């Protein structure tokens, strides 16, 4: 005869399973907060570097330490490693043909991340939207164009407070660090930001809307565009990398 499992034993088993699972959930929540704290610390450092408020030697030392710490905590906090083959084109409804000057706008020009807002060169690609009225809206849809995260990773820096008259060149920007590929990606001239520092993102996640913020991008002479920079931090310090070839092969979203 089949013996039924006593209800009191079943209840006890369920309670045990819940108690055993709780520490794991609590641990992941704690790891997520550690990652957010590190991202906020990186954001503060990035602002100091941007504003040339820190000696380069100290800035480099702190940068390397934070990148290493972010890499350690990323996966414990639930971050996923996305390969470069899963990367997404960073503008919804657009493709690589929207990149200015067929990719020839990328000019290294002695670029140095640690020179902050005074850096030289243009190790970046400007990706232009259809906006003849310079209203920050797509001419075909009449809607803002969504900026998508090209990679996975964690948002490590953001600027939401840009106002016309500011000398800040990037306007409302985002930096996203992807530990899986040791990449640091910069999205500038946004109109609205949709993610906070410390947030985990996947390729294709909406992170902002294309805008006209920033010292030069705000001016009438500038067509509306996203400014995209890719830095490799595989060696601990940021080195500019030309992503044009990669952008021609990224996944497109309609």
What the chain holds in terms of domains, given with CATH numbers, is 84-247 (2.70.70.10)
Confidence (pLDDT) at 18: 47
The string of pLDDT tens digits covering residues 155-186 is 999 999 999 999 999 999 999 999 999 999 99
Proportion of the chain above pLDDT 90, given as a percent: 88
Q: Model-level pTM greater than 0.85? A: yes
Rounded to an integer, what distance in angstroms lies between the CA atom of residue 17 and that of residue 21? Answer: 6
How far apart (Å, rounded) are the C-alpha atoms in residues 97 and 50? 31
Give the residues of the chain that fall short of pLDDT 50. Answer: 1-2, 18
């Amino acid at each position: 005869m089949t013996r039924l499992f006593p209800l009191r034993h079943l209840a006890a088993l369920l309670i045990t399973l819940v108690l055993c699972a709780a520490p794991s959930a609590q641990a992941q929540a704690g790891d997520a907060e550690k990652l957010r704290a590190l991202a906020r610390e990186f954001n503060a450092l990035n602002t100091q570097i941007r504003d040339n408020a820190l000696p380069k030697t100290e800035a480099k030392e702190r940068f390397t330490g934070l990148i290493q710490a972010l890499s350690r905590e990323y996966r414990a906090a639930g971050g996923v490693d996305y390969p470069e083959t899963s990367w997404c084109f960073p503008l919804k409804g657009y493709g690589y043909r929207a990149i200015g000057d067929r990719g020839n706008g990328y000019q290294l020009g002695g670029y140095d991340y640690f020179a902050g807002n005074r850096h030289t060169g243009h190790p970046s690609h400007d990706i232009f939207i259809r906006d003849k009225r310079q209203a920050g809206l797509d001419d075909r849809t009449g809607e803002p164009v969504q900026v998508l995260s090209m990679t996975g990773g964690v948002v490590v820096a953001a600027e939401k407070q840009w106002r016309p008259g500011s000398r800040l060149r990037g306007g409302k920007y985002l930096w996203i660090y992807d530990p899986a590929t040791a990449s640091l990606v910069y999205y500038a001239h946004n109109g609205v930001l949709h993610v906070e520092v410390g947030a985990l993102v996947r390729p294709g996640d909406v992170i902002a809307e294309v805008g006209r913020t920033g010292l030069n991008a705000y001016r009438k002479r500038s067509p509306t565009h996203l400014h995209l920079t890719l830095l490799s931090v595989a060696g601990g310090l940021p080195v500019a990398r030309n992503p044009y070839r990669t952008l021609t092969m990224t996944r497109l979203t309609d």
